[in-house]
Copies of this chain bind each other. A is one copy, B any other.
């Protein structure tokens, strides 16, 4: 067991119409001039943006708006947001949407609170000394960004996708109204469930140091998401299932499911990041497409964890050798992905990279992690390339 810090100060409000509380929450956390940052048109079309601005108007809280955050949110919009905040004297950020809008808002917050180029933080050059306070109205259960310390931004020049983590970026509050997620396309719902599971699985497949209680919480969370992902596949309007998945999304990435481990193995995310940077695929689907190849490449070096996962999460038979049990767990996970229409390889994901493109992704991934990385198994560039090849 490793020493750990757990710090998840976000005030979460979950329930129907909880977005009505946005003005009082902004005030509670000291906001007087707000940048409402959102993504595409759905927040506008659904009327949510209007409801939010009406609530702020009624409460006498000033605001400016900035839309346009796209999946794999772009650095240029972050720069634009920073300028806008400085010009308008914004002292509070409100991210409305999914992970893209929230991550983009976090990056804007770092840019406003720190001098110099905000990309430095994402380029591992220096650490932020603060962040503008941030609140969130979540419309997609997926990235867990509403309680997490992390954000992912893509620099257009070279399509470089990088994450940065800092407690300063943890939102002050997160409004979770499960009804806001009901209009999502089924594919996005399934992608979200996959992303949520992966945040917990990447904390689970590590070398040693695991805590029993952390495992118990992680396994319970994974089983809950799987069960409710299947409910939502058949009944997308099921409020309770939406709520289960939404809350699981926040818990899966706020640190709770990693307490006592070595920090986690984030290589599935890293491998997907290069895919996402190059092809702009849906993040959750990209994760599902590479996970099986990653798991088969590493599981023999992390056998006790893959065995425990197979039995406690996937519920497979305990017969046979540890390797057989572990393999059965990987197969069961892939079957689950297929059952919610997630891809289990790049072909099913709809991309067909050339050998050169695979090599480019492996190279960029290796550079991004500083040469080699991974806890379940340390992966260097050659290993990354092998996993990419196996996932074609």
Cβ of A15 < 8 Å from any Cβ of B?
yes
Cβ of A335 < 8 Å from any Cβ of B?
no
Cβ of A217 < 8 Å from any Cβ of B?
yes
B residues near A15, Cβ cutoff 8 Å: 2-4
| Minimum C-beta distance from A28 to chain B (A) | 10
Our pick among B3, B6, B216 for the contact of A221 (Cβ within 8 Å) is B216
Interface bin, chain A: 35 or more
B residues near A220, Cβ cutoff 8 Å: 213, 216-217, 219-220
Interchain CA distance A213-B248 in the complex, whole Å? 7
- Among A60-81, those with CB < 8 Å from B are none
B residues near A9, Cβ cutoff 8 Å: 8-9, 11
Interchain CA distance A3-B2 in the complex, whole Å? 35
Q: Are A13 and B8 in contact (CB under 8 A)?
A: no
Cβ of A212 < 8 Å from any Cβ of B?
yes
Cβ of A5 < 8 Å from any Cβ of B?
yes
Interchain CA distance A5-B224 in the complex, whole Å? 20
| Minimum C-beta distance from A18 to chain B (A) | 7
Our pick among B14, B224, B239, B244 for the contact of A4 (Cβ within 8 Å) is B14
| Minimum C-beta distance from A24 to chain B (A) | 12
Interchain CA distance A18-B2 in the complex, whole Å? 12
Cβ of A240 < 8 Å from any Cβ of B?
yes
| Minimum C-beta distance from A258 to chain B (A) | 12
Q: Are B221 and A247 in contact (CB under 8 A)?
A: no
Q: State the oligomeric state as a number of copies.
A: 2
| Minimum C-beta distance from A261 to chain B (A) | 12
Given contacts A3-B15, A15-B4, contact A224 B212 (CB under 8 A): yes
Cβ of A233 < 8 Å from any Cβ of B?
no
Q: Are B213 and A251 in contact (CB under 8 A)?
A: yes
B residues near A389, Cβ cutoff 8 Å: none
| Minimum C-beta distance from A144 to chain B (A) | 14
Q: Are A211 and B11 in contact (CB under 8 A)?
A: no
B residues near A12, Cβ cutoff 8 Å: 4-7
Interchain CA distance A110-B240 in the complex, whole Å? 38
Q: Are A213 and B224 in contact (CB under 8 A)?
A: yes
| Minimum C-beta distance from A71 to chain B (A) | 26
B residues near A243, Cβ cutoff 8 Å: 1, 211, 260
A 226-258 to B, binary, CB cutoff 8 A, 1 in contact else 0:
011000000000011001100110010000100
Q: Are A7 and B11 in contact (CB under 8 A)?
A: yes
| Minimum C-beta distance from A364 to chain B (A) | 35
Cβ of A384 < 8 Å from any Cβ of B?
no
B residues near A8, Cβ cutoff 8 Å: 8-9
Interchain CA distance A8-B219 in the complex, whole Å? 22
What are 8 A-B pairs at a CB distance below 8 A? A4-B13, A4-B15, A5-B14, A6-B14, A212-B244, A213-B244, A213-B247, A217-B217
Give chain A's interface residues, CB within 8 Å of chain B. Answer: 1-9, 11-16, 18, 211-213, 216-217, 219-221, 223-224, 227-228, 239-240, 243-244, 247-248, 251, 256, 259-260
**Assuming A4-B14, A5-B12, A211-B244, what are 16 further A-B pairs, CB within 8 angstroms?**
A3-B15, A3-B16, A4-B12, A7-B12, A9-B9, A9-B11, A14-B260, A211-B240, A213-B220, A213-B221, A213-B224, A213-B251, A216-B220, A219-B220, A243-B260, A247-B259
